[in-house]
């Protein structure tokens, strides 16, 4: 079984601490995605798991065995990079079989493994071509095939789709998801693209500056982000954050509500349902509202004027502004009649709004 276990893993380059104490538990067969902004340490963490980088401290186990000092070739992993790194002078077949041949695996066995991987990836008609005669997507598939033939316990992918155009990226994303279902192996996948993370992952690990901010399923992170960083990173367009101050509490029909006066909206106070402990009056908070949670039947409102419209066909994004100049992004399915300069009620469902404290940590409503 190929569980991957990280305990207080740290990685420094000289005196620069890049990975700053990561604890992570990955189950056999899980599809785990590391996501975060560029430079947050995703590749470094993946390379530390692969053995391409030593870890500075902490412990790494794969399949229960401590791997800290085990050679990359003996960790039971295979890595697929953004740059496909195919050998230009070799055919697809030779590229895919190279590592096995190099390791002294008998020719018939190499052939069988390469054929089987080619079948899974639909590469059979291309086996005698050289990389230069392949499209970007086909090259990426060969790079994946080269990993499959090694029959690894764990696949490591580092932004494998970043060099592909948008359409091909969607196509390859579906292929990688299918591959995971077919192979049932553990996959650790790095991307800075939250859509890729949301669509592929069983479990997303959100990283910021070498620290894990939150781990959870895509919808757990979307519905219940632990802080403004995760809330802002997951979901597109980004969640709106409104600064404000708690002005009072009220009980209405058995529901406790917290009143928040928002900065930049004329004398506007919104009322959010909360259970459990209320933030005290005067607490500075930030209210998070996703663009898609605005709709005409909402019980709270944020009056705005439309600055700009983006009509995508199926939905419209309205970029609007409050009287005090606060930007609000509103998503609507029904935006064809909207006009720039138009005033909107900005109705949203108060029960879906999230509350955060000044440091960005979530104020939970149901403790
Ligand atoms: N070999 C290295 N030497 C020094 N600093 C490095 C090295 N590799 C990565 N870094 C630094 O570590 C940080 C994280 O890099 P990386 O893991 O590549 O980020 P990501 O993949 O999330 O974009 C960056 O600031 C980068 O400059
Ligand atoms: Mg990277």
Q: Which residues of the chain have pLDDT under 50?
A: 367
Q: Over the stretch 34-88, which tens digit does the pLDDT of each residue have? A: 999 999 999 999 999 999 999 999 999 999 999 999 999 899 999 998 888 899 9
Q: Retrieve residue 249's tokens.
A: 């509490």
The predicted structure's pLDDT at residue 39: 96
CA–centroid distance, 14 to ligand 1, in Å, is 12
- Report d(CA 214, CA 362) in Å as an integer: 12
Q: Over the stretch 100-144, which tens digit does the pLDDT of each residue have? A: 999 999 999 999 999 999 998 889 999 999 999 999 889 999 999
Same fold, 4-233 and 240-363: no
Ligand 1 atom 8 nearest Cα: 44
287, 244 contact by CB (below 8 A) = yes
197, 35 contact by CB (below 8 A) = yes
The predicted structure's pLDDT at residue 1: 63
Atom of ligand 1 at shortest range from CA of 44: 17
- In the chain, where the domains are located: 4-233, 240-363
Pairing type for strands 203-208 and 31-35 reads: parallel
CATH fold, domain 240-363, is OB fold (Dihydrolipoamide Acetyltransferase, E2P) (2.40.50)
The predicted structure's pLDDT at residue 267: 82
Q: Retrieve residue 346's tokens.
A: 């900005």
CA–centroid distance, 43 to ligand 1, in Å, is 7
Buried b (16+ CB within 10 A) or exposed e, 155-193: bbbbbbbeebeeebbeebbebbeebbeeeebbbbbbbbb
CATH homologous superfamily for the domain 4-233: P-loop containing nucleotide triphosphate hydrolases (3.40.50.300)
331, 237 contact by CB (below 8 A) = yes
- Report d(CA 105, CA 109) in Å as an integer: 7
163, 138 contact by CB (below 8 A) = no
CA–centroid distance, 208 to ligand 2, in Å, is 13
The predicted structure's pLDDT at residue 367: 44
Q: DSSP states of 200-239 as a string?
A: H-SEEEEEETTEEEEEE-HHHHHHS-SBHHHHHHSSSSPP
pTM for this prediction: 0.93
Pocket of ligand 1 (CB under 6 A): 13, 16, 18, 36, 38-44
């Amino acid at each position: 079984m190929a569980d991957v276990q990280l305990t207080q893993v740290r990685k420094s380059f000289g005196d620069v601490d890049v990975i700053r104490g990561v604890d992570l538990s990955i189950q056999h067969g899980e599809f785990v995605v590391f996501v975060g902004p560029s430079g947050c340490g995703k590749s470094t963490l993946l390379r530390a798991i692969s053995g391409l980088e030593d870890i500075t401290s902490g412990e790494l186990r794969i399949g229960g065995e401590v791997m800290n000092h085990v050679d990359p070739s003996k960790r039971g992993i295979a890595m697929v990079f953004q740059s496909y790194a195919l050998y230009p002078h070799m055919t697809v077949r030779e590229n895919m079989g190279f590592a096995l041949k190099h390791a002294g695996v008998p020719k018939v066995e190499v052939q069988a493994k390469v054929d089987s991987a080619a079948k899974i990836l639909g590469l059979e008609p291309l086996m005698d071509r050289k990389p230069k005669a392949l499209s970007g997507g086909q090259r990426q598939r060969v790079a994946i095939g080269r990993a499959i033939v090694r029959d690894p316990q764990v696949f490591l992918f580092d932004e494998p789709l970043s060099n592909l155009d948008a359409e091909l990226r969607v196509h390859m994303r579906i292929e990688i998801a299918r591959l995971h279902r077919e192979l049932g192996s553990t996959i650790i996948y790095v991307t800075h693209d939250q859509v890729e993370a949301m669509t592929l992952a069983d479990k997303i690990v959100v990283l910021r500056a070498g620290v894990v901010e939150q781990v959870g399923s895509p919808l757990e992170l979307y519905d219940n982000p632990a802080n403004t960083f995760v809330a802002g990173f997951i979901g597109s367009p980004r969640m709106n954050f409104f600064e404000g101050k708690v002005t009072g509490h009220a009980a209405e029909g058995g529901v406790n509500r917290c009143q928040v006066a928002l900065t930049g909206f004329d004398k506007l106070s919104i009322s959010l349902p909360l259970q459990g402990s209320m933030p005290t009056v005067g607490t500075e908070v930030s209210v998070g509202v996703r663009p898609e949670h605005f709709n005409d039947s909402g019980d709270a409102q944020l009056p705005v004027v439309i600055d700009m419209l983006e009509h995508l066909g199926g939905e419209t994004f309205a970029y609007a502004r409050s009287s005090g100049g606060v930007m609000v992004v509103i998503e609507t399915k029904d935006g064809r009649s909207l006009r720039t300069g138009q005033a909107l009620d900005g109705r949203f469902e108060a029960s879906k709004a999230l509350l955060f404290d000044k440091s960005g940590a979530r104020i939970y409503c149901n403790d």
